[in-house]
A = this chain, B = another copy of it.
């Protein structure tokens, strides 16, 4: 398909308010009085964030969701996104249609629309970058800096599932049943960022981050930005039954989950425990208290009072 056909036939049906149907040189975001616009951009890479054999629809949805998780972490409600995509010659029209269907499904689920983008051909690997936009009440964006000694530390959802799915793709031996295997692979392909919890974070979190590099590494970013230390109760880190079945339940397994990365859940700190738990219940989001902010620096992972050695500080793109 020609570039103009791809835009007109594949992507234009996804375009929403301010996009001018992808028929102009730029898009427009009208002012939303009393709100700041939050902007985030992340690319996903073949062989790391997805595999060429993954369904086109989940590749598309993951590219979008790794950005929506940033908006959720910052307390913003998503509105729209840009798509920059470079297509190798192997990409077919059917692949593009499946890719667009994935985006369409997530647009419906998360209430966003396509604002614009850029389509090109490449001799290199498939390359996908999304830039996502959301609104947060003015001055209420939740920063990494903001955690204070005495705050509790929380995380949404379960941690390590995506790393488990990736391990299965990398042919790690396991004795999972089909449902467990599918569950973990699904979490790798399709992260579940807690968008429904964004407003609660804007209201109650003192600091927040999406878990992409790994729980310990990402909390380390928050601790460094906030000038505080953190103690994490390793046993409290929420792990799924499937992940426990894959990696056992020993200290090494906990460390692995806490450093695997690619979770796209949200780790945050807050002072008002009751408000956090009430908001979690109202939003139907699983939130687990996993530790405490203290004076000092760094993140310590404790199991029954013993500090666990953390070999890696999380996934690095390099």
Instruction: Report A's interface with B, CB cutoff 8 A.
Output: 2-4, 20, 23-43, 45, 70-71, 73-74, 76, 82, 84, 86, 115-125, 127, 129, 131, 138, 141, 143-145, 209-210, 225, 316-318
Contact = CB atoms under 8 A, between A and B. Distances in A.
A83 to B, nearest CB: 9
A258 to B, nearest CB: 19
B317 A121 contact: yes
Given A74-B25, A123-B125, A131-B131, A117 B41 contact: yes
Contacts of A23: 144, 225
A138 B32 CA distance: 12
A77 to B, nearest CB: 13
A39 B27 contact: yes
Given A84-B43, A131-B82, A225 B24 contact: yes
Nearest to A25: B70
Contacts of A30: 36-37, 138
Contacts of A3: 316-318
Contacts of A116: 39-41
Nearest to A87: B318
Contacts of A39: 26-29, 82, 115-116
Nearest to A69: B25
Q: What 7 A-B pairs have minimum CB-CB distances, sorted nearest first?
A: A124-B124, A26-B40, A29-B37, A25-B70, A84-B129, A26-B74, A27-B39
Given A25-B209, A43-B118, 16 more contacts: A25-B70, A25-B144, A26-B74, A26-B141, A28-B37, A28-B38, A28-B141, A30-B37, A82-B131, A86-B127, A118-B129, A120-B317, A121-B317, A121-B318, A122-B127, A123-B124
21 contacts: A23-B144, A25-B74, A26-B70, A26-B71, A26-B141, A27-B38, A28-B39, A28-B141, A31-B32, A33-B33, A37-B37, A39-B82, A39-B115, A39-B116, A41-B82, A43-B86, A43-B120, A45-B122, A86-B127, A120-B317, A123-B125
Contacts of A43: 84, 86, 118, 120
A84 to B, nearest CB: 5
A48 to B, nearest CB: 9
Contact of A118 (B25, B38, B41): B41
B28 A36 contact: yes
Contacts of A125: 122-124
Contacts of A119: 317
A3 B217 CA distance: 14
B73 A25 contact: yes
Contacts of A36: 28-31
